[in-house]
Amino acid sequence: MRLLVGLGNPGREYAGTRHNMGFRVIDEVAARNGVTLSGRRFHSRTGRGRIGGQDVLLMKPQTFMNASGTAVREALAKTGLGPSDVLVIVDDLDLPVGRLRMKGSGSSAGHRGLTSIAGALRETGFPRLRLGIGRPADRSEVIDWVLERPTRAELAILDRAVTAAADCVEVFFAEGLERAMAMVNGLDLAAPDDA
């Protein structure tokens, strides 16, 4: 079994915000693969299904972003999986809107959800897929920025990013990390279609 974790914040007030891109990708992957997220385990909404030929547990932690590690640590402890068996999906301020980046490990780059997971697991060796949400013009307004809903123009790009991210997740489970990285790293979904 493998674990797919999308990060976000629970509750209606956070639905559709930039910080909930991980939740959006989980919902897209679940819909495509006939997975119902009706379970309540590991401080998360969960669902289990087959993705890319593998048995996968999908999770949307309900701990709020900054405590995501609690959910992931508990899931690994109860399932016997290791950090390399987890794929985490997050938003990323440092990537422009419409850019995706996948890595097999690395630093949290200041993302509090990734920081929480790395701290809870005491390691950074878990794959992660980042979806760019860009930064506000005034860099001091980051907290408000991530908790706001995207503009209409951004949303059109982010919708394409969610689709591409779900494609990437399916390739990751079917063909592995290297193939998934080659698929999305360098992809710019903000570029015109005829570019």
Task: Identify the residue whose tokens are 């790395």.
Answer: 118
Identify whether 19 is a catalytic site residue: yes
Phi-psi region of 5 (alpha: psi -120 to 50; beta: other; left: phi over 0): beta
Burial category of 49 from C-beta neighbours within 10 Å (exposed 0-12, middle 13-18, buried 19 and up): middle
CA distance 191 to 37: 33
Number of neighbours of residue 195 by Cβ within 10 angstroms: 6
CA distance 117 to 83: 10
Buried b (16+ CB within 10 A) or exposed e, 134-170: bbbeeeeeeeebbeeebeeebeebbeebbebbbbbbb
CA distance 30 to 39: 13
Which of 2, 19, 45, 99 is an active site residue?
19
Q: Report the catalytic residues.
A: 19
